Amino acid sequence: MNIAVIGTGYVGLVSGTCFADSGNKVTCVDIDEEKVGKLKDGQIPIYEPGLETIFARSQREGRLNFTTDIAEAVPEADIVFLCLPTPPGGDGQADLTAVMQVADQLGSLIDEYTVVVNKSTVPVGTGDRVEAAIADNVDEELFDVVSNPEFLREGAAVEDFKYPERVVIGTGSDRAAEIMTTLYEPFVRSGNPIIVMDRRSAELTKYAANAMLATKITFMNEIANICEKVGANVDNIRRGIGTDSRIGKRFLFAGIGYGGSCFPKDVQAIHHTAGQHGYDFKIVDSVMEVNNAQKVSIVKKMEEYFAADDFSGKTFGIWGLSFKPETDDIREAPALYIAEELVKRGAQLLAYDPEAIGTFKQATTQAVLDNTTFVHDQQAALNDIDALVICTEWNEFRRPTVDNFADEMKDPVIFDGRNLYDLKRAKKAGITYISVGRPSIN
Ligand code: UGA
């Protein structure tokens, strides 16, 4: 099939490349000339495991092309994917400026039947708006607008795209449904379903999935908080309930809260949509409140441990700045908030992250920059510190194991926001180890 992908951000680039990899001819469009120039040269602006190889092969074989001219890509295309940014607007709802600007241009570029697909995460009803904008300039018989939300995780996007657990297609048109099903069939050969539904349900499915996952994490974080009060261990609770297939083992890891560009934005947006329709979506309101508190809960533990709310004269090591491992993304990362709170209390910081030092520096406050030394290996963040704070579960922080802290630090005190280490080993190693929802080792 001939596919146009409008927007070469994260979703557009991964989708375009994976569609090209499965034998389609894909033209990706972006208004950013510099970016398109680099992509034409084979330079990929994001890091995603596995992307480089299939990008290079598809480009070499002529199935993956780039242009800044939308008029070059759309008339040829059987399917046009809109993968445009929908940042949070001032009112907590996604800002649709980019999507609508493109929709306004599409009608005059379509001259044969074309399926227009919205892949960006957009509020319920956006498909109707896109349809109306296109219909201003072209006969309604010549196109259908479909919602096809993506469920990719950063760091595993290619894998998620190639082997989706499900594909959701929202359309009332049989013709569009058939074309979309044909496109996705190669990705679900293992038998996973392509679920065709109405467009509004598909749009809401995306928000419901992210809100459910954010709620699941938050529920476990609250259980962890209760564990700390009653002297239980959240790891045991996780195993005890996760084996019930109705609950499931995944996304039950307590920690210092969820972050990233998706969960916080989508939870807020579904709350807003419900409110607009006169429904008070209470559970997600609590999820947001609990998550905000959870992000800085570790600072409270530090105040308790040091019996002070003034950390002047103290230096803390920070391991991990990104919102999760395998990415340099620091959007809504707990480390941003923790660093700010610690510096507010007079602390100096020694911070290390394998990928995210650059992005963290751009996003943090001047006060944090003035009081933080960024170091380029994890050992260096342990030099003469009063305590280590672990904010992200990068694999390399699991090794060297907890036993080594006693060699590396004079009097090791670890505040672990991601529960990396085994409690028995921490005890044996003779360190002070305070984690989330598990008994403290002193
Ligand atoms: C999330 C969803 O998992 C994807 O399905 C979705 O497509 C994507 O949002 C999106 O809407 O684009 P992502 O934000 O990349 O993907 O990251 P996740 O791996 O889901 O992690 C989100 C946050 O939850 C991280 O801060 C992580 O540390 C936290 N988390 C995750 C926990 O605290 N505990 C867990 O058990 C799992």
Q: 33 with 104, same domain?
A: yes
Residue 264: name the closest of 234, 220, 238, 295 by CA. Answer: 295
164 lines ligand 1 (CB under 6 A): no
Per-residue pLDDT 10s for the chain (442 aa) are 999 999 999 999 999 999 999 999 999 999 999 999 999 999 999 888 899 999 999 999 999 999 999 999 999 999 999 999 988 887 777 899 999 999 999 999 999 999 999 999 899 999 999 999 999 999 999 999 999 999 999 889 999 999 999 999 999 999 999 999 999 999 998 899 999 999 999 999 999 999 999 999 999 999 999 999 999 999 999 999 999 999 999 999 999 999 998 999 999 999 999 999 999 999 999 999 999 999 999 999 999 999 999 999 999 999 999 999 988 899 999 999 999 999 999 999 999 999 999 999 999 999 999 999 999 999 999 999 999 999 999 999 997 667 788 888 888 999 999 999 999 999 998 999 999 999 999 8
Report the side by side order of strands in the sheet with 372-374: 372-374, 348-352, 315-319, 387-390, 413-416, 432-434
| pLDDT at 403 (0 to 100) | 77
Q: 72 with 174, same domain?
A: yes
Q: 137 with 282, same domain?
A: no
In a domain, 439, yes or no: no
Q: 53 with 67, same domain?
A: yes
Which CATH number belongs to the domain containing residue 342 in this structure? 3.40.50.720
C-alpha distances (whole Å) from 26 to each of 29, 44, 149, 166 are 10, 16, 19, 22
> What is the value of ipTM here, to two decimals?
0.94
Q: 232 with 354, same domain?
A: no
388 lines ligand 1 (CB under 6 A): no
In a domain, 374, yes or no: yes
| pLDDT at 400 (0 to 100) | 67
Q: 327 with 429, same domain?
A: yes
Q: Are 418 and 392 in contact (CB under 8 A)?
A: yes
Residue whose CA is at the smallest distance from ligand 1 atom 27: 258
Q: 324 with 407, same domain?
A: yes
Q: End of a domain among 149, 169, 197?
A: 197
In a domain, 39, yes or no: yes
Query: Ligand 1 center to residue 16 CA distance, Å?
Result: 22
252 lines ligand 1 (CB under 6 A): yes
Residue whose CA is at the smallest distance from ligand 1 atom 1: 153
In a domain, 442, yes or no: no
3-class SS letters over the chain = CEEEEECCCHHHHHHHHHHHHCCCEEEEECCCHHHHHHHHCCCCCCCCCCHHHHHHHHHHCCCEEEECCHHHHCCCCCEEEECCCCCECCCCCECCHHHHHHHHHHHHHCCCCEEEEECCCCCCCHHHHHHHHHHCCCCHHHEEEEECCCCCCCCCHHHHHHCCCCEEEECCCHHHHHHHHHHHHHHHCCCCCEEEECHHHHHHHHHHHHHHHHHHHHHHHHHHHHHHHHCCCHHHHHHHHHCCCCCCCCCCCCCCCCCCCCHHHHHHHHHHHHHHCCCCCHHHHHHHHHHHHHHCHHHHHHHHHHCCCCCCCCEEEEECCCCCCCCCCCCCCHHHHHHHHHHHCCCEEEEECCCCHHHHHHHCCHHHHHCEEECCCCHHHHCCCCEEEECCCCHHHCCCCHHHHHHHCCCCEEEECCCCCCHHHHHHHCCEEECCCCCCEC
Scan for tokens 């395998």, then name that residue: 326
Annotated binding site: 30, 35, 86, 121, 151-154, 206, 251-255, 259, 265, 324, 331
CA 150, 155, 159: angle at the middle one, nearest 5? 60
In a domain, 281, yes or no: yes
**Structural domain count, the chain:** 3
Pocket-testing residue among 256, 324, 329, 420, ligand 1, by greatest number of atoms within 8 A of Cβ: 324
In a domain, 354, yes or no: yes
Which CATH number belongs to the domain containing residue 225 in this structure? 1.10.1040.10
In a domain, 440, yes or no: no
Q: 161 with 14, same domain?
A: yes
pTM above 0.80, yes or no: yes
| Domain ranges, residue 88 | 2-197
Q: End of a domain among 164, 197, 230?
A: 197
Q: Are 195 and 167 in contact (CB under 8 A)?
A: yes
Catalytic residue at 262?
Answer: yes
Q: 143 with 19, same domain?
A: yes
Q: End of a domain among 275, 293, 311?
A: 293
Q: 300 with 279, same domain?
A: no
In a domain, 154, yes or no: yes
Q: 390 with 271, same domain?
A: no
Positive or negative CA dihedral for 267, 273, 275, 280? negative
238 lines ligand 1 (CB under 6 A): no
Q: 28 with 177, same domain?
A: yes
Q: Token pair for residue 78?
A: 């059987």
